Structure 1
Amino acid sequence: MIAADTTQLRFKPMRYGGSLDHLEYVEVAPIIGREYTKAKIKDILKADNVEEQIRDLAVIISERGVVFFRAKQDDLSVDELKHFTDMVGKLSGRPKENGLHVHPLYRDPGNIPMGNGETDENIYVINSEAAKKLYKTMPGKDSKQPKNLDREWHSDATFEVCPSDFSCLLMEETPAHGGDTLWCSGYEIYDRISPPMREFLDGLTATCAQPVFKNACVAGNYEVMSPRGSPLNVGDSFSPVHPVVRTNRQTGWKSIFAGVGLHVTRINGVYDYEDKMIREYIMRLITQNHDCIARMHWTQGAAAIWNNSCVWHAATPDTHLVPGAIRTGIRASSIGEQPYLDPASTSRREALGI
């Protein structure tokens, strides 16, 4: 048996090349997030050095976790949104055979079309009414108890063998207030864990089962979409095993990944109480360390793109409290590699000498 190489990273970390220095931005918080205040995604796609700019953007997203485009992106077509998201994943080294995610329930009659009246298998429509129809088989959805917003935290498509690397959301309609989205740095959460505990978590995996998709297909009498952005994302089991700690391929930094979230159902190899304790511990780190969080108050036409390998995100389900509130958007997601923990990777703070 050949021992794993603990000195050479599987993927060489990407380095920023300076092609986006002309764009105005502010850092959302010291640890996470960047907001481009005036930049237009369409202008990046039209640039002579478009590949250089998108590759550099992939580096920034991967280091900062999430990037916001505050200016109205209302001139960006659906095809351009898809192309942009696909290019970010492709130019940052995802498997060549992968592409954009196909939503498992695309064939569902409750799949509400986009604002233009069309549907697209690579576009997930953000719409609270659509969610009620698509996920009507979700356990506990009709509970009258106060909502536990812990369950909102997730990383996109963790229920797939190959989850999403990058997701880009363009918000089309927003209420005057409410409906914010939060992102939390999995890099920093990992760094706030003691070295002995980190070493323990490094050796764990989690099962990320999401039976709602198969249940919805059975209830609606239609077949689940397959494949879904990767030759490995097939069938209707939706119960892959992922590492609790994974390496981000773009940076080589470790991040807590499948330790918490909507799709994580079990930490493997530990007793039931230990499983609960580990997940509650990680969630407690998220909720008690709000300096690890970037918050987006949406404005019409704004966009966000994030790296699911190193951040979780959570929508704030409060728009039902705003009379006449409408919150709709369209999201495209690239599909990355099967999550892995590289023995040569380090934490973000270790890599940066912080």
Structure 2
Amino acid sequence: MAPSTISLAPSTATASATESTKLKTTPTPTPTQAVNTLTAPLPYPPAFSPLLSHPHHESTPVIGTEFSGDFQLSSILSSPTSLQHLASLISHRGVVFFRGQEITPSQQRELVQSLGELSGKPATSGLHIHPLTRENGKDGDHISIISSEERIKYENARKERERVRELGWEKGEESQLASVGWHADITFENVPSDYATLKVHTQPATGGDTLWASGYEVYDRLSPSFRAYLETLSAVHNADRFKEVAAARGHTLRNHRGAPENNDLELTAVHPVIRTNPVTGWKSVFVNRSFTKRILGVSIDESELILNHLFRLVSENHDLQVRFRWARYKDGETGDVAVWDNRSTFHTATDDYIETGGVRSGDRAVSLGERPFYGGQGERSRGRREALGWRGVERIY
């Protein structure tokens, strides 16, 4: 489905309202450009949208929307209008939750690919293949199994090898801060993710929540002068640690990972520190503790100061986070689903159930978007609070 040729079918709304839902794109770029083809941000889904007719509520004022289980994501897979409205809703709200879903792994793949296509992803960007994905897996290359049991196996193997973690901890030491897990998916790729979806079908009796945080709100909490400075900087993202994981598991890394720009084993990319989301036109901080290693153009000491400050804004501000408690279903097939925009959010798992013998497992599909960019000033790129007309958090700058 080529983004530059899509025209959405009319809904029951007026002609003028219908016109606003049409995809606005430019001609498809060459593979080396990997740019989003939207010529203007998508509006927030209109009140008449069939999607918003289903029971839902905002999880917090800043981030998250939740739909109840009477709505099945699989029911809109053949509706470009509803899918584009969903893409816009996810990008504006950061993450959207759906209770009691029966969607299959193949439908998850179809869902995230369609969300990207209907919001201008490059034609060369497909679904991501994780570097650690084994070939000929039962669910194919594009589904990552999120498994606490696999994670424990890796941790045990790593400890036995007594490797020194690259963050500089001494041999045998582990951070006792759960906040070290905050990340956005696959930012080590030259063309990283736009949308991702996770369905958790095996859940412990208690615990195992996932948290998301808003990169938009992190940006808005910076002083204007500091924002302006960060907008001039780029940072290095790296995932060499996956090479260690692959060695512990006894298999090789995948070197063709869903886009021509991601066909190497370097697992290193340079991205702007402040990124514009093309779907909303809003600015977001785009560094994360798991993959961002260094800011370019400053000393290593200055880089660590800046990065640690940004990481703390994510982890220490609970009022820009949402915590989602996955429900437990008896049939082993039904599960809650989260769909999020990796360009403007961070997330982290909660491993509080592992010591009690709990097991958590789910299926994740990740779409690839565009090369990250900073869009400058004006209507095309501004802060979320400015766009919504909200007053800033009271501070003296």
Aligned to 1:342: 375
SS of the residue corresponding to residue 88 of structure 2 reads helix
CA contact (8 A) 1:175 1:327 kept: yes
Instruction: Please tell me whether residue 92 in structure 1 is matched to residue 128 in structure 2.
Output: no
Preserved CA contact (<8 Å) 1:213 1:236: no
Per mean C-alpha deviation after superposition, the further-off stretch among 237-246 and 130-139 is 130-139
Does the CA-based 8 Å contact 1:151-1:261 persist in structure 2? Answer: yes
Cα separation, 2, equivalents of 1:153 and 1:121: 25
Q: Which moved more, 1:60-69 or 1:119-128?
A: 119-128
Corresponding residue for residue 197 of structure 2 = 168
Question: 2:293 maps to which residue?
Answer: 265
Secondary structure at 2:268 match in 1: coil
Deviation (angstroms), 1:221 = 6.5
Deviation, 1:351, is 1.6
2:359 paired residue among 318, 322, 326: 326
Name the counterpart of 1:40. Answer: 72
Q: Is the 8 A contact 1:122 1:332 kept in 2?
A: yes
Give the superposed CA RMSD.
Answer: 2.2
Size of the aligned set, in residue pairs, is 332
Structure 2 partner of 1:3: none
SS at match of 1:251: coil
Mapped partners of 2:228, 2:251: distance in 1? 44
Residue number in structure 1 paired with 2:309: 281
1:299 aligned to 2:331? no
Between the aligned partners of 1:146 and 1:220, the Cα distance in structure 2 is 23
Query: Is the deviation greater in 278-287 or in 25-34?
Result: 278-287
Deviation at 1:98, TM superposition (A): 1.0
The residue matched to 2:261 in structure 1 has which SS?
coil
Q: For residue 258 of structure 2, what is the amino acid of its counterpart? A: G
* Superimposed CA distance per residue, residues 245-285 of structure 1 (whole angstroms, 9 cap, x where no aligned partner): 00001001000012x32011111111122111111111222
Cα distance 1:143–1:35, how it changes in 2: closer, same or farther (>3 A)?
A: farther
Q: Aligned match of 1:80 in 98, 107, 119?
A: 107
2:148 to 94, 118, 128: 128
SS at match of 2:51: coil
Letter paired with 1:277: L
Q: Structure 1 counterpart of 2:359, which letter?
A: I
- Given residue 338 of structure 2, which amino acid in structure 1 is its aligned partner? A
Per-residue deviation at 1:85? Answer: 1.3
Counterpart amino acid of 2:95? Answer: V
Q: How far did 1:190 drift?
A: 0.4
Q: Is contact 2:154–2:249 with CA below 8 Å preserved after alignment?
A: no
Within 5 Å, which residues of 2 pair with 1:153-164?
153-164=182-193
Structure 2 unpaired stretches of 5+: 1-36, 329-334, 391-397
Helix, strand or coil for the counterpart of 1:208?
A: strand
Letter of the structure 2 residue corresponding to residue 316 of structure 1: T
- Unmatched segments (≥5 aa) in structure 1: 1-8
Higher relative contact order (CA 8 A, sep 6+): 1
Secondary structure in 2 aligned to 1:98?
coil
Q: Scaled by the length of structure 1, what TM-score is found? A: 0.88
Q: Kindly indicate whether the alpha-carbon contact (under 8 Å) linking 2:187 and 2:237 is maintained by their aligned counterparts in 1.
A: yes
Task: Give the SS at the match of 2:339.
Answer: strand
Alignment TM-score, normalising by the size of structure 2: 0.79
Distance 1:287 1:97 in 2: 34
Judging changes above 3 Å, is the alpha-carbon distance between structure 1 residues 243 and 139 closer, same or farther for their aligned structure 2 residues? farther
Find the residue that maps to 1:302 and give its secondary structure: strand
Q: Tell me the SS of whatever aligns to 1:232.
A: helix
Q: Is the 8 A contact 1:11 1:252 kept in 2?
A: no
Structure 2 distance, partners of 1:30, 1:256, is 19
Q: Which is higher, the Rg of structure 1 or of structure 2?
A: 2
Aligned-pair CA distance for 1:147: 2.1
Distance 1:353 1:159, change over 3 A: same
Indicate the residue corresponding to 1:148 in structure 2: 177
